[in-house]
Amino acid sequence: MMNQGVGLRHIKTNATESQQLTATEADLYRNSRDDLHPTQVRKIRPTRRSVSGIYAFRGEAAIAFESTLERDFLIRTEFFQSVLEVIPQPVEIPFLAQTGARYTYTPDFLVYYRLGNRSYEHYPKPVLIEVKPEADWRKHWREWMSKWKAARRFAQSQGWEFHIHDETRIRDLPFQNIKFLERYKRMQFPIEESLCVLKTVAEMGVVTIDHLLARHFMGNYRAEGIAHIWHLLATRQLECDIGQSLGHFIELWVPSNE
């Protein structure tokens, strides 16, 4: 069992390790500050050991993944409008293994976030992400700790954070809701009906699905109305707390697009 001091949200190090790089790392990190926008540094090639492929992130960026868990991370991340950009295989980080050998570690993703309505003082930090199945990190955490500590130090030097995501942080309730809504995304409904629903929500500020059904889709139209509302959520014309169970009493609002 992994020591509880080694969390998935942050890889903790002592004060010295957290605040400064090793001499070897410092030499290799020099001039690597985030002055230039990181780009993919390692090409992902097909492998027999896992499912790899390309994910069309928001229909704009082709992002490579090396496992179904990485693919699901992209599906989940894509849904959140607070996410600005995801860069695969963004940096190569040198580190010393416990044996003293030198290696290079490439985390899976770098995620940038929108400022939104926050002040620049509270600008959300970019997050360097390693996607790893829980069974794997529990089995190998001692072996991988050196590179994860190096990744955390590197992230701090850039003003980023470093997180590890496993199934518990990817295939959670928000992900299940996103997958549920996916089936309604390509459905088509009369534009006039959509505009009426959106106008009602905009005027009320916050409204439940049950209220919209009673106002716009009574009687025989109720089933079609439910699908229509799921479609508006799936296409991000409406927002909800995706971390809650989707039901008729969940609250909806029009996204601010900030």
Kindly tell me if the per-residue pLDDT of 42 is higher than 80.
no
**Domain, as residue range, for 243:** 186-252
pLDDT for res 258? 57
Query: Are 135 and 227 in a shared domain?
Result: no
Mean pLDDT value across residues 138-150 = 94
175 within a domain of the structure (yes/no)? no
**Token digits of residue 94:** 């040198």
Kindly tell me if the per-residue pLDDT of 43 is higher than 80.
no
Decide which of 170, 197, 226 is a domain's last residue.
Answer: 170
pLDDT for res 244? 96
Task: Give the separation between CA 200 and CA 114, rounded to whole angstroms.
Answer: 28
Decide which of 107, 141, 170 is a domain's last residue.
Answer: 170
pLDDT for res 15? 39
DSSP H helical segments within the chain, as ranges?
15-19, 23-29, 68-79, 134-158, 167-170, 173-182, 191-204, 209-216, 222-234
Q: Which of 63, 82, 60, 81 is nearest to 72 (CA)?
A: 63
Mean pLDDT value across residues 125-143 = 96
Supply the Cα-derived Rg of the chain in whole angstroms: 22
Contact criterion met (CB below 8 Å) for 231 and 191:
no
Kindly tell me if the per-residue pLDDT of 48 is higher than 80.
no
Task: Give the separation between CA 153 and CA 147, rounded to whole angstroms.
Answer: 10
Q: Is 137 helix (H, G, I), strand (E, B) or coil?
A: helix
Confidence band for 196, pLDDT divided at 50, 70 and 90? very high
Q: Which of 172, 174, 7, 152 is nearest to 82 (CA)?
A: 174
Task: Give the separation between CA 82 and CA 152, rounded to whole angstroms.
Answer: 23
pLDDT digits (tens, 9 = 90+) for 2-40: 343 444 444 444 434 444 455 445 444 433 444 446 776
Write the DSSP string, 222-252: HHHHHHHHHHHHHTTSSB--TTSPP-TT-EE
Query: Are 190 and 98 in a shared domain?
Result: no
pLDDT for res 17? 45
Task: Give the separation between CA 20 and CA 18, rounded to whole angstroms.
Answer: 6
Task: Give the separation between CA 33 and CA 156, rounded to whole angstroms.
Answer: 10
Calculate the average pLDDT of the chain: 86
Contacts of 167 (CB under 8 A, 6+ apart): 69, 133, 134
Query: What's the pTM?
Result: 0.81
pLDDT digits (tens, 9 = 90+) for 147-166: 999 999 999 999 999 999 99
144 within a domain of the structure (yes/no)? yes
Query: Are 114 and 240 in a shared domain?
Result: no
211 within a domain of the structure (yes/no)? yes
240 within a domain of the structure (yes/no)? yes
Give the chain's domain count.
2
Contact criterion met (CB below 8 Å) for 48 and 64:
no
pLDDT digits (tens, 9 = 90+) for 227-254: 999 999 999 999 999 999 999 999 999 9
Mean pLDDT value across residues 113-135 = 90
Query: Are 101 and 215 in a shared domain?
Result: no
pLDDT digits (tens, 9 = 90+) for 73-97: 999 999 999 999 999 999 999 999 8
Confidence band for 49, pLDDT divided at 50, 70 and 90? low
Comparing 190 with 37, which gets the higher pLDDT?
190
217 within a domain of the structure (yes/no)? yes
Kindly tell me if the per-residue pLDDT of 99 is higher than 60.
yes
Comparing 215 with 25, which gets the higher pLDDT?
215
Mean pLDDT value across residues 183-193 = 97
Query: Are 159 and 192 in a shared domain?
Result: no
Q: Is 98 helix (H, G, I), strand (E, B) or coil?
A: coil
pLDDT for res 3? 41
Here the CATH number for the domain that contains residue 117 is 3.40.1350.10
pLDDT for res 44? 59
Query: Are 104 and 157 in a shared domain?
Result: yes
Contact criterion met (CB below 8 Å) for 195 and 233:
no
Q: What is the largest CA-CA distance in the chain?
A: 72
Query: Are 166 and 192 in a shared domain?
Result: no
